[in-house]
C-alpha cells in the first residue's frame, strides 16, 4: 500500500485563480469527512472546495465532489491523480479562489489534477509493507556484534531488551523467515535463537507505482 508521507498544503496560481491543495492521511471515512469539513470551515469564503479521497487496503472506498464546478472537471481529476499514484488512506481538498478568468472544462481538469499532483510531489509518498516480526535472543558476548550486523542489514531493529540475555525485536526485510533463520545461524554460528512474534507495518520511501 502507498500513502502520503505526511499532511501538507501546496498552492498554485492559474490565470489569476488560486488553487490551494491540502492533503491528509486518513484512516476512515469519518476522518476524511472531518478533514474536508475543517478545510471548508477554514476557507468558507472560497469559490469552491473540491474533494477526493481513497481509503482501505485495496483502495476500495473512493469518493469525490466537484463542489459546484462543472460535473467531472474537479473531483474526478483529483481522484484520478490519487489512483494513478497508487495511493490509499489519503484525502485531498482543492480550494479555489476565482480570479476572474474562466478556464473552460479542459483547463479546470488540468488545474485540479495538477494541484493535487504538485501537492503530492511536495509532501512525498511512502510505501507500507506488512512484514513478519521475530525476536532474536543472544548472550551478551555475542549481542554487540549481532546488533551491528542486524542494523547494517536490510532488516529493521525495532527494539532491544536487556535481561538474562539480549533480545532484539526485528522486522524482516522480506516475508521469508526461513531465509532469515538461515542468515542468523550463519552469522552467529547457531548461537542465537529466533522466535516468531507476529507482524508489523513498516513504511518506506516509495518509488513509481508498479
* Tens-digit pLDDT profile for residues 119-177: 999 999 998 888 899 999 999 999 999 999 999 998 989 999 999 999 999 999 887 88
Q: Alpha-carbon distance 57 to 41, whole Å? A: 29
Nearest by Cα to 35 from 77, 70, 68, 4: 4
Q: What 3-state DSSP class applies to 17?
A: strand
Phi–psi pair at 164, nearest 5 degrees = -60, -30
Q: How far is CA 151 from CA 40, 88, 158, in A?
A: 45, 30, 10
* Per-residue pLDDT tens over the stretch 145-160: 999 999 999 898 999 9
pLDDT band at 209 (very low <50, low <70, confident <90, very high): low
- The DSSP line for 197-208 is EEEEEEEEE--S
Q: What 3-state DSSP class applies to 78?
A: helix
pTM of the model: 0.76
CATH (one of 3.10.520.10, 3.30.499.10, 3.40.50.2300, 3.30.230.30) for 2-123: 3.30.230.30
End-to-end CA distance of the chain: 11
Q: Alpha-carbon distance 119 to 112, whole Å? A: 11
The domain ranges of the chain are 2-123, 129-202
**What CATH number belongs to 129-202?**
3.30.70.240
pLDDT more than 70, % of the chain? 98
Amino acid at each position: 500500500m502507498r500513502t502520503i508521507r505526511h499532511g501538507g498544503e501546496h498552492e498554485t496560481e492559474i490565470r489569476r485563480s488560486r488553487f490551494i491543495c491540502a492533503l491528509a492521511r486518513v484512516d476512515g471515512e469519518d476522518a476524511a469527512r472531518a478533514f474536508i469539513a475543517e478545510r471548508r470551515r477554514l476557507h468558507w469564503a472560497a469559490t469552491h472546495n473540491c474533494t477526493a479521497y481513497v481509503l482501505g487496503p485495496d483502495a476500495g472506498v473512493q469518493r469525490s465532489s466537484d463542489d459546484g464546478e462543472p460535473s467531472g472537471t474537479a473531483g474526478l481529476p483529483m481522484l484520478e491523480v490519487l489512483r494513478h499514484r497508487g495511493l490509499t488512506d489519503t484525502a485531498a481538498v482543492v480550494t479555489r479562489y476565482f480570479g476572474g478568468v474562466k478556464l473552460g472544462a479542459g483547463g479546470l481538469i488540468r488545474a485540479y489534477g495538477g494541484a493535487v499532483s504538485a501537492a503530492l510531489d511536495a509532501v512525498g509518498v511512502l510505501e507500507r509493507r506488512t512484514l513478519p516480526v521475530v525476536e532474536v535472543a543472544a548472550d551478551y558476548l555475542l549481542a554487540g556484534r549481532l546488533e551491528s550486523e542486524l542494523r547494517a542489514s536490510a532488516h529493521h531493529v525495532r527494539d532491544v531488551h536487556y535481561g538474562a540475555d539480549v533480545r532484539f525485536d526485528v522486522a524482516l526485510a522480506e516475508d521469508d523467515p526461513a531465509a532469515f533463520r538461515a542468515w542468523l545461524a550463519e552469522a552467529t554460528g547457531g548461537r542465537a535463537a529466533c522466535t516468531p512474534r507476529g507482524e508489523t507495518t513498516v513504511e518506506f520511501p516509495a518509488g513509481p507505482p508498479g
